[in-house]
Structure 1
Amino acid sequence: MNRLRGQSGLTYVIWSVLTVELLLSVATGRWPVAFVSLATLALTMTPIFLAPRLNIRLPRSIVAAIVVFIFATLFLGEVMDFYIRLWWWDIALHGMSALGLGLAGFLLVFILFEGDRYAAPAWAIGLLAFCFAVTIGVIWEVFEFAMDQTFGLNMQKSGLVDTMGDLIVDIIGAGVAGLTGALYLRGKALGSVSALVEEFVDLNRRFFRRFKG
């Protein structure tokens, strides 16, 4: 349990909410809510236990972002019916996921170049990050289609319109992430984004032997 220590206050608040909801749901026999609460709690803790196995150290800010996203997707979306109550909820989450995946793609490419800002043109690395995020978005839409066709679910909601809307949002989010990565390589001040990248680099120096802050 030592790995769960040292996280952000927001992360602990969400874990507390999920734990309380889990206990209340079990006590009142609301088993579907209990299952979703337990699954959400487990998934939000997964990156913390998975990262050491991959020999990666995650900054608290990245862990907090992952926890918030999973909480918003599963618990708020499914248990609290935010997908129904707020028409823009699904759009916002797709944008967040695309932005996050784009930054993850940027860090992955940056690792491949060992942190060398000049190993490739900034626009090329930004484009690779963009492609990475969009590819994941497309794979997810294929997964939704497969689940609907195989199990009779309704993950695609309105079908083609929902799928295309999601992909458009994915492209916009991935584009913002790719542009952000390219600007960072050009030395543009990006506030919290630059701080997040440099914090990740500092925690994982062995992957960035050519990095010069």
Structure 2
Amino acid sequence: MQNTSRKHRFNDVFEIVLYVICGISIIYFGVTGAYGKCFQAGLIIIVLLLFRGLTAWTKSDLPPTLRFWVLIFIAITMMVANLFGMYAFIPHLDKMEHLLSGVILFFTGQFILNKMAKRKGLSGLPANIIIWFSFYFAVAMAGVWEIYEFTSDHLFGLTSQNGSLTDTMFDIICGTTGAIGGVLYLFYKARKDPNSVENVVENK
């Protein structure tokens, strides 16, 4: 319990650091006249607030490890890659993001299923059901994201998919690969203790 509380405090500090960086970025880019960057920094703040608000509204006590990786994902994709323009300097950064998103979405699916089961008064779901639901959830969300990119590209003239089916499929493959990593991890945990699958994220 004490270790979990310490992790929650670390996440709170990490989130505050992200707010501070965004605030400094808004001032800096505002002074230099890069108002598009100011908007991007403000958007990061909005996303962080929405993430916090959504967890509060749904009364979801996110496991500290899952919350940490969601914050890391926001920092990498929205801050490092877009705000500071690291796509041009870090090879295959986009693919690394999709790989990480597959892992995060896998454990998000696990968290959602466990939460729904507890709300219905269910307990002791078979490990296989939890693992496969989480896997299919992650793969489905990878597809949904590509649908969003396709739609936004065609409606607003963006280039998220580089006009390429190959780019789209590689993104989905990366997301699926990340989810497979989650599957292997939980199968390993289930072999040691089938009941640990319900709480594996909380215990990390």
Report the TM-score, using the length of structure 1 for normalisation.
0.78
For 1:116, the equivalent position in structure 2 comes to 123
Contact kept, 8 Å, 1:101 with 1:133, in 2: the verdict is yes
1:6 deviates by 4.1
Deviations 1:89-145 (A, max 9, x none): 11111011110000011122223333734x32x233211110000000001111111
1:198 deviates by 3.6
1:188 deviates by 5.1
For 1:72, the equivalent position in structure 2 comes to 76
1:158 deviates by 5.1
Equivalent residue letter for 1:74: M
Contact kept, 8 Å, 1:11 with 1:64, in 2: the verdict is no
1:60 deviates by 4.0
Provide the C-alpha distance between the structure 1 equivalents of 2:186 and 2:202, rounded to a whole number of angstroms.
9
Contact kept, 8 Å, 1:25 with 1:31, in 2: the verdict is yes
Contact kept, 8 Å, 1:125 with 1:181, in 2: the verdict is no
Provide the C-alpha distance between the structure 1 equivalents of 2:47 and 2:183, rounded to a whole number of angstroms.
27
1:16 to 20, 27, 52: 20
Provide the C-alpha distance between the structure 2 equivalents of 1:196 and 1:54, rounded to a whole number of angstroms.
19
108-117 or 53-62, larger mean C-alpha shift: 108-117
Q: Which sections of structure 2, spanning at least 5 residues, go unmatched?
A: 1-7
Equivalent residue letter for 1:84: A
1:54 deviates by 0.6
For 1:161, the equivalent position in structure 2 comes to 166
2:105 to 101, 104, 108: 101
For 1:53, the equivalent position in structure 2 comes to 57
Q: Aligned-residue CA RMSD in angstroms?
A: 2.6
1:195 deviates by 5.8
For 2:3, the equivalent position in structure 1 comes to none
1:39 deviates by 0.6
Provide the C-alpha distance between the structure 2 equivalents of 1:140 and 1:44, rounded to a whole number of angstroms.
19
Deviations 1:40-94 (A, max 9, x none): 1221232222212112123444333222211211122122222222222111110
Provide the C-alpha distance between the structure 2 equivalents of 1:29 and 1:61, rounded to a whole number of angstroms.
38
Contact kept, 8 Å, 2:103 with 2:178, in 1: the verdict is yes
Contact kept, 8 Å, 2:66 with 2:108, in 1: the verdict is no
1:37 deviates by 0.5
Provide the C-alpha distance between the structure 1 equivalents of 2:66 and 2:48, rounded to a whole number of angstroms.
12
25-34 or 130-139, larger mean C-alpha shift: 25-34
Q: Which sections of structure 1, spanning at least 5 residues, go unmatched?
A: 200-213
Tell me how many residue pairs correspond in the alignment: 191
Cα gap change, 1:116/1:198 in structure 2, threshold over 3 Å: closer, same or farther?
farther
Identify the structure with the greater helix proportion: 2
Q: Is residue 83 from structure 1 mapped to residue 83 from structure 2 by the alignment?
A: no
Cα gap change, 1:10/1:188 in structure 2, threshold over 3 Å: closer, same or farther?
farther
